[in-house]
Amino acid sequence: MSGSRCQTLYPFTGERHRQGLRFDAGEVLTVLQVPDGGWWEGQKEDGLRGWFPASYVQLLEKPGMVPPQPAEENQTSFLPPGWQSYLSPQGRRYYVNTTTNETTWERPNGSPRTPSSPGTQRNFQPATVNGYHSSGTPVHQSEPVHMSLRKPTGDFQNPGSPSPGKKQSKESTITINCVTFPHPDTMPEQQLLKPTEWSYCDYFWADKKDPQGNGTVAGFEILLQKQLKGKQMQKEMSEFIRERIKIEEEYAKNLAKLSQNSLAAQEEGSLGEAWAQVKKSLADEAEVHLKFSSKLHSEVEKPLMNFRENFKKDMKKCDHHIADLRKQLASRYASVEKARKALTERQKDLEMKTQQLEIKLSNKTEEDIKKARRKSTQAGDDLMRCVDLYNQAQSKWFEEMVTTTLELERLEVERVEMIRQHLCQYTQLRHETDMFNQSTVEPVDQLLRKVDPAKDRELWVKEHKTGDIRPVDMEI
Amino acid sequence: MSGSRCQTLYPFTGERHRQGLRFDAGEVLTVLQVPDGGWWEGQKEDGLRGWFPASYVQLLEKPGMVPPQPAEENQTSFLPPGWQSYLSPQGRRYYVNTTTNETTWERPNGSPRTPSSPGTQRNFQPATVNGYHSSGTPVHQSEPVHMSLRKPTGDFQNPGSPSPGKKQSKESTITINCVTFPHPDTMPEQQLLKPTEWSYCDYFWADKKDPQGNGTVAGFEILLQKQLKGKQMQKEMSEFIRERIKIEEEYAKNLAKLSQNSLAAQEEGSLGEAWAQVKKSLADEAEVHLKFSSKLHSEVEKPLMNFRENFKKDMKKCDHHIADLRKQLASRYASVEKARKALTERQKDLEMKTQQLEIKLSNKTEEDIKKARRKSTQAGDDLMRCVDLYNQAQSKWFEEMVTTTLELERLEVERVEMIRQHLCQYTQLRHETDMFNQSTVEPVDQLLRKVDPAKDRELWVKEHKTGDIRPVDMEI
């Protein structure tokens, strides 16, 4: 995949990441490295290199499909106002009206409000709602939405008609805990960041009601709890292994002690040797189990216990950071609401003054209207600025969420892999223990095969005989 | 070997044995059965069947080598008085003068006191001392000695010359604790009953000085102590196994308990399954060790403990019987000594009276001498009868010792074999335990191979996600 080209889907500042690559949505990068873990290295057209989350880009299957950037810019520059040109994952160009969210495969020529809809290929036309396209076409969110934010500002000078932006907002978005989401009804096929991977960064933007019913839990908090629980599990496994170690040590101690027992120590000959080996084999078994417990300690218990010693602290830091961004988002949302209220008041004031003008035409009133209109425009600009700040905060939060959840994913994979490896090590040690244990019986078996009652008798008779002679009949 | 013929070496009464075959030394039997254990079944010429200790007979390598019994008797009947004819193990006939213990390959023709010594084959002539022949020729003990006991009786009528029997006894036998043995100096190559087998019945006729120095221990007592110690060893092994069982039960209990532990029970997904199997495998291990301990109990501990439950009682009975025979032997030895003393007195009296006769020849003295001679002859007959009784008692003791030690040998082989088998059973159970133990790890390994962080993440995300949507930039 290295050497391929990809198109960026979202703007990425990269500022919180060493060697992070800053880019806007829609840029084309050359992919340099694609190691596991979700972070790729890429190079921009201007030669700048850096790292970015793989989920921020869309691979271009055939690099040749993308026309050189200047050519595209040229094409874009000739589009009617409000229209943008994009590439489908298949490399086919299509057009999006960022104001009305209309899409078409054909290059629009008419006015932006009446784009020609795709003809014969209607079934395949990319559907887009509020910046999200159904699967099969690349996702464009930040860029188009930023566009839609700026376009309707002129409408504040035409207060009689409701602004398309506000109308659209009411219809297709909902706000949960100060965060604006697309309305579920309008998102039947929302494109996910990593649709095949069940990535954390796709499913934890919203908050969740606390199971106890009081308050809500942030999605990120749930992810974090998962990690902390994982850490806890790993610690508990380590404790479990420690208990096992204790059992093994106790067992080994008992076997070793019994091995020293003098029972039947006086058995003689080859049977005596075999019996002595039976007893010795218990000491061997004890050693095997001691070795098992000592290896369990060094190769399973300790690594499990020490893996990510400062994990909780790191997670807390991470949590604070996200929480701060979340707070900023909330305060900026409050500013937006305040500015929105101020604008409403200014508009009411302007409306009232306009009505007064209709009743009695005075010079002073006309100036009042001018002043009110200026203030209304100012309030509109304030709201715009507040929305801008809110959107900036959300963009930061978005980036932080994506990169952090990516990191959490990596950590989780690492944790599962680490535990898996150490449990494999555990079973490996168990296997070895059984094998070594079996080998302790081998010398016993050998000596048992050599047990020879005749030889034993010979040895015993030689040692204990009372003489070589047998009695003879007495003679007179 | 069944169907072979054998020659009996000692007389056997068989009276203490069910289906025992009674025979004298020198008879030829047809061997019917030769099972292990030292007892054979045989058939006499007259068709009588029965069992006898294999050590009482000498196999005739080729049955055809032995001439029919009547022919041999005919040959024997033509020998000069005092000579007997025997077959060497190679089937060659040789001749023994049972009075002088001279042997020759050639048939004696002259007077029994001057047999022709073997000529060119002097080096191969069978040497015989006091009824024992050096190895290579069959052993003849009881029969010749009984002969030598009877032959010299006439010498009591010739008191001037010392009786050859007494002279021989002084030179070539010693008496230890009332039992007459051949003198070691005259027995450089004493033939053993079962020379290749280090049989108990060959080496425990004499008594042994107690290690503490007070009194002596009968050879049979040593054999008996060996058996009782063997019984004790087997009991101690059983106790040892019981200790092992306790250790296994304790180990199994601890494993089972740990298996129930809830540590890390909340680990999820495929890793959670693998972990649950790790815990379950401890219960499996516990079961394996419980099974081990239960089989140790039923297949090793109990059989070892119960093998020969009444062994000590049986041994005591056996001991009493041999001890009784030993006492009888002692009392009969005392009778012999008493009769010997009486004979000496009678001979002194006769000598004195004969000297008196030389000094003054009186009619009364001559009658006294006749009377004294009669009494001396009577005392000689008494001694002869006492020796006969002693020899009978010793023969009984001999038979009892041989058959009992044979039984002890069989018991010892059986005991060693029994212990060997049960220790083999022990190692077999150990092997099985290790194998079963190994198999408890198998399902853990399988589940560990199936651990899949991606799948786990998918399941977890599906369950815990806060929504499918991602935030969008706010619009005015």
The CA distance from A116 to A93, in Å, is 15
Q: How far apart are CA B264 and CA B248, in angstroms?
A: 27
Show which of residues 131-170 on chain B sit within 8 Å of chain A, judged by CB atoms.
131-132, 141-142, 145-146, 148-149, 152-153, 163, 165-166, 168-169
Residues of chain B with Cβ-Cβ distance to A149 below 8 Å are 473-476
How does pLDDT run across A381-433, given as a tens digit for each residue? 999 999 999 999 988 888 888 888 888 888 899 999 999 999 999 999 999 99
Residue A209, pLDDT score: 80
Q: Which of A221, A284, A476 should we substitute to test contact with B (largest number of B Cβ atoms within 10 Å)?
A: A476
Residue A155 confidence (pLDDT) above 80 = no
C-beta of residue B230 within 8 angstroms of C-beta of residue B300? no
In DSSP notation, A355-396 reads HHHHHS--HHHHHHHHHHHHHHHHHHHHHHHHHHHHHHHHHH
Residue of B nearest to A210 (CA): B466
The reported pLDDT for the residue numbered A271 is 94
Confidence of residue A199 (pLDDT cuts 50, 70, 90): confident
CA atoms of B311 and B412, how far apart (whole Å): 12
Tell me whether B307 touches chain A (CB under 8 Å). no
- Residue-wise pLDDT for B194-253, tens only, equals 777 788 888 888 888 877 777 888 888 899 999 999 999 999 999 999 999 999 999 999
pLDDT value of position A131: 35
Q: What is the pLDDT of residue B105?
A: 64
Q: Name, in order, each residue with C-beta under 8 angstroms of A275's C-beta and a sequence gap of 6 or more.
A: A264, A267, B233, B237, B419, B423
Chain B's closest residue to A198, CA to CA, is B458
**Residue A468 CB partners (closer than 8 Å, separation 6+):** B184, B187, B190, B192, B202, B203
How many residues are present in chain A? 476
Beta-bridge partners for B393: none
Report CA A15 to chain centroid distance, whole Å.
20
> Interface pTM (ipTM) of the complex?
0.71
Which residues of A, range 61-120, sit inside 8 Å of B by Cβ? none
Query: What's residue A166's pLDDT?
Result: 42
Q: Which residues of B touch A462 (CB under 8 A)?
A: 198
Q: For the beta carbon of residue A72, count every other beta carbon within 10 angstroms.
A: 17
Find chain B residues with C-beta within 8 A of A475's C-beta: 145, 148-149, 152, 165-166, 168-169, 173, 387
pLDDT (tens digit, 9 = 90+) per residue, B143-176?
A: 333 333 333 333 344 334 333 344 444 457 888 7
Residue by residue, DSSP assigns B144-180 as HHHHHHHGGGGGGG-TTSPPHHHHHHHHHEEEETTEE
User: DSSP class of residue B104?
Assistant: E
**pTM higher than the cut 0.80:** no
Closest chain B residue by Cα to residue A141: B472
Give percent of chain B above pLDDT 90.
37
Contact yes or no for A9/A2 (Cβ under 8 A): no
- Cα A110 to Cα A104: distance, rounded to the nearest angstrom: 13
Query: CB under 8 Å to A331, separation ≥6 — which residues?
Result: none
Of A243, A390, A471, the CB nearest to B205: A471
Closest residue to B146, CB basis, from A203, A465, A473: A473
| A189 in reach of chain B (CB within 8 A) | no
Residue A238: per-residue pLDDT: 95
Residues on chain B touching A425 (C-beta within 8 angstroms): none
Q: Which CATH number fits domain A4-60: 3.40.367.20, 2.30.30.40, 1.10.10.10, 2.60.200.30?
A: 2.30.30.40
Q: Which helix (H) or strand (E) holds A217?
A: strand A216-218
- Buried b / exposed e over B370-392, threshold 16 CB at 10 Å, is eebbebbbebbebbbebbbbbbe
More confident residue, A143 or B255: B255
Query: Higher pLDDT residue, A356 or B443?
Result: B443
**B4-60 matches B200-448 in fold:** no
Closest to A112 in 3D by CA, of A147, A62, A72: A147
Is the Cβ–Cβ distance between B11 and B395 less than 8 Å? Answer: yes
Chain B, 358 to 377: residues with Cβ < 8 Å from chain A are none
DSSP string, A144-169: HHHHHHHGGGGGGG-TTSPPHHHHHH
Tell if the CB–CB gap between B473 and A149 is shorter than 8 Å: yes
Give me the mean pLDDT over the B443-465 stretch.
Answer: 91
Q: Retrieve residue A95's tokens.
A: 């057009």
Nearest to B165 among A148, A409, A476 (CB): A476
Count the helix, strand and coil residues of chain A and give each as a percent rounded to the nearest 5.
60, 10, 30
H/E element, B206? none
Whether the per-residue pLDDT at B382 is higher than 80: the answer is yes
- HSE-CB at A348 with a 13 A cutoff on CA atoms is 6
| Number of other residues whose CB lies within 10 A of the CB of residue A20 | 18
**What mean pLDDT is predicted for residues B319-341?**
92
Query: Higher model confidence: residue A24 or residue B190?
Result: A24
Structure tokens at A166: 């506000």
Nearest residue in chain A measured CA to CA from B242: A258
DSSP B49-63: EEEEEGGGEEEESSG
Rg (CA), chain B: 39
Residue closest to A322 by CA, chosen among A242, A405, A387: A405
B256 CB within 8 Å of a chain A CB? no
Query: Cα separations (Å) of A189 from A174, A184, A198?
Result: 17, 10, 15
Query: Cβ distance B430 to A441 under 8 Å?
Result: yes
Amino acid at B325: L
**What is the rounded CA–CA span in Å between residue B335 and residue B338?**
5
Do A344 and B476 touch, CB atoms closer than 8 A?
no
Q: Are B222 and A464 in contact (CB under 8 A)?
A: yes
Contact check, Cβ <8 Å, B271/A236: no
Which residues of B fall within a CB distance of 8 Å from A301? Answer: none
Burial of residue A377 (number of CB atoms within 10 Å: 0-12, 13-18, 19+): middle
Average pLDDT, chain B: 78
Q: Answer yes or no: is pLDDT of B374 > 80.
A: yes
Among A408-412, A469-473, B398-402, the range scoring the smallest mean pLDDT is A469-473
Question: Which amino acid is residue A327, in one-letter code?
Answer: K
* pLDDT, position B189: 53
Tell me the percentage of chain A whose pLDDT exceeds 70: 74
Residue B99: per-residue pLDDT: 66
What is the rounded distance in angstroms from the CA atom of residue B152 to the CA atom of residue B383?
13
Is a pLDDT exceeding 80 seen at residue A256? yes
pLDDT band at A137 (very low <50, low <70, confident <90, very high): very low
- Which of A115-119, A381-385, B328-332 shows the lowest per-residue confidence on average (mean pLDDT)? A115-119
C-alpha dihedral (B31, B34, B40, B46), degrees to nearest 10: -20
Q: Tokens for B374?
A: 């009669």
CA distance A218 to B420: 72
> What is the C-alpha to C-alpha distance for residues A21 and B389, in angstroms, rounded to an integer?
122
Q: What CATH superfamily classification does A200-448 receive? A: Arfaptin homology (AH) domain/BAR domain (1.20.1270.60)
B15-28: per-residue pLDDT in tens? 777 788 988 888 89
Q: Picking from A53-57, A216-220, B427-431, which range would have the lowest pLDDT averaged per residue?
A: A53-57
Domain ranges of chain B: 4-60, 200-448
pLDDT in tens, A25-50: 888 999 998 887 678 899 998 889 99
Are the CB atoms for A185 and A173 separated by under 8 Å?
A: no
B403 has pLDDT over 80: yes
Residue B405 pLDDT greater than 60, yes or no: yes
Predicted pLDDT at A43: 92
Asked whether residue B459 carries a pLDDT value surpassing 80, the answer given is: yes
Q: Tell whether A210 lies on the interface with B, counting CB pairs under 8 A.
A: no
CA distance A257 to chain B (A): 10
Residue A53: beta bridge partners?
Answer: A39
**pLDDT tens-place string over residues A165-187:** 444 444 577 887 788 887 767 65
Cβ-defined contact of B444 to A457 (cutoff 8 Å) = no
pLDDT value at residue B162: 37
Find chain A residues with C-beta within 8 A of B274's C-beta.
420, 423
Query: Amino acid identity of B202?
Result: D
- Chain B touched by A18 (CB under 8 Å): no
pLDDT of A109 reads 67
Write phi, then psi, for A194 (nearest 5 degrees). -130, 75
CA distances from B3 to A132, B60, B63, B370 (A): 107, 11, 9, 59
More confident residue, B262 or A95: B262
What does the pLDDT look like over A66-98, one tens digit per residue?
444 443 434 444 677 776 666 554 445 666 676
Give mean pLDDT, residues B442-469: 90
Short-list B420, B197, B388, CA closest to B307: B420
Q: Which H/E stretch holds residue A53?
A: strand A49-53
pLDDT beyond 70 at A377: yes
Q: Specify the amino acid at residue A437.
A: N
Look over chain A and give the mean of its residue pLDDT values, rounded to a whole number. Answer: 78
Tokens linked to B248: 């296994």
Residue of A nearest to B394 (CA): A473
pLDDT at residue B356, as a whole number? 79
> In percent, how much of chain A has pLDDT > 90?
36
Give contacts of B 407-466 with A, CB under 8 A.
Answer: 409, 412-413, 416-417, 419-420, 423-424, 426-427, 430-431, 434-435, 437-438, 441, 444-445, 448, 451, 453-454, 456-458, 460-462, 464-466
Judge whether residue B342 has pLDDT over 90.
yes
